[in-house]
């Protein structure tokens, strides 16, 4: 049952990304170009994500998972070197490629070679990250 719900949620997420234009690299670059030809339409996508996320946070704080078990504990809100560096790399990659991980996965089937190169680079980064994280988070 969990796999079915995960597949449905993933399909809904991917369809939402495609319908909203988040898989269109030019639309994303237009949104990020705040000092040029700015396209604010993706703000509606972000605003539309706030309501269900607020409900999910409320549910996690007050309820129990529908399929049993328990929600994981919240991580400590710690700002570390790896968080800052990872955020900067994420933003640079998003700005250069016009994609972030979710839309990139949704676009693999139709996005062409650029999306596949992005996906491979993302996978390499995910493989390298745990090795670098220990060094970044070590006391100076």
Q: What is the pLDDT of residues 70-98, one digit of tens each?
A: 888 888 888 888 888 888 988 888 888 88
9-13, 25-29, 109-113: lowest mean pLDDT where?
A: 109-113
Q: What is the pLDDT of residue 115?
A: 83
Token pair in block for residue 29: 């670059």
Domain count, the chain: 1
- The pLDDT value given to residue 107: 82
Terminal C-alpha separation, the chain = 46
Q: What totals of helices (H) and strands (E) does the chain contain, helices first?
A: 6, 0
Over 70: is that where the pLDDT of 140 sits? no
| Enclosing domain of residue 18 | 2-137
Q: Which residues of 63-82 are buried (b: 16+ CB within 10 A; e: fewer)?
A: eeeeeeeeeeeeeeeeeeee
Q: What is the pTM of this model?
A: 0.63
**Looking at residues 20-49, what average pLDDT do you find?**
85
At residue 85, the pLDDT reads 85
| 119, pLDDT greater than 70 | yes
């Amino acid at each position: 049952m969990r796999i079915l719900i995960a597949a449905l949620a993933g399909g809904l997420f991917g369809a939402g990304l495609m319908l909203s234009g988040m898989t269109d690299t030019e639309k994303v670059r237009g949104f990020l170009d705040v000092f040029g030809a700015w396209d604010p339409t993706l703000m509606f996508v972000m605003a539309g994500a706030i309501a269900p996320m607020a409900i999910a946070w409320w549910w996690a704080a007050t309820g129990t998972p529908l399929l049993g078990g328990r929600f994981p504990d919240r991580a400590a809100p710690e700002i570390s070197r790896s968080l800052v560096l990872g955020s900067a790399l994420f933003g640079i990659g998003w700005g250069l490629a016009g994609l972030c991980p979710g839309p990139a996965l949704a676009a693999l089937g139709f996005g062409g070679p650029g999306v596949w190169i992005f996906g491979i680079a993302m996978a390499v980064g995910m493989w390298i990250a745990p090795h670098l994280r220990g060094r970044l988070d070590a006391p100076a």
